[in-house]
Amino acid sequence: NAGVTQTPKFQVLKTGQSMTLQCAQDMNHEYMSWYRQDPGMGLRLIHYSVGAGITDQGEVPNGYNVSRSTTEDFPLRLLSAAPSQTSVYFCASSSRTSGNYNEQFFGPGTRLTVL
């Protein structure tokens, strides 16, 4: 049971480049979410999904797209990277069946730098 996995661990982009941060979980959790962590600001919710085919915006969605075609995967896309998107990105998952949506399992994070 790998839990929540994220790739890549580190990434450097130039302004305007696009990329996809991958997130997968093997716990059959219906709920998945993306957060970013910036110094002095805690974690902020970007997008979340309560099941395959269903996504919604969180606190800071601008500049990011998501899709949820399977229960396991929840990729986060940056269409045109900006220096303000330099951050550490965490993916998380949870399930009402085994707990509640709030008690989330987090991946190890992706550290993204945009030059």
Partner 1 sequence: DQQVKQNSPSLSVQEGRISILNCDYTNSMFDYFLWYKKYPAEGPTFLISISSIKDKNEDGRFTVFLNKSAKHLSLHIVPSQPGDSAVYFCAASDDNTGKLIFGQGTTLQVKP
Q: Rule CB under 8 A: which residues touch partner 1?
A: 4, 31, 33, 35, 40-45, 48, 50, 58-59, 90, 92, 94, 96, 100-109
Q: Which residues contact 39 (CB under 8 A, 6 or more apart)?
A: none
Nearer to partner 1, 15 or 100 (CB): 100
Distance CA 42, CA 104 (A): 16
Q: Which residues contact 22 (CB under 8 A, 6 or more apart)?
A: 6, 7, 8, 73, 75
- Shortest spacing between CB 26 and partner 1, in angstroms: 15
Nearer to partner 1, 25 or 85 (CB): 25
- Shortest spacing between CB 41 and partner 1, in angstroms: 6
- Shortest spacing between CB 86 and partner 1, in angstroms: 17
Nearer to partner 1, 30 or 72 (CB): 30
- Shortest spacing between CB 27 and partner 1, in angstroms: 13
Reference 2, options 105, 85, 97; nearest CA is 105
Q: Which two tokens stand for residue 82?
A: 């900006």
Q: What's the one-letter identity of residue 29?
A: H
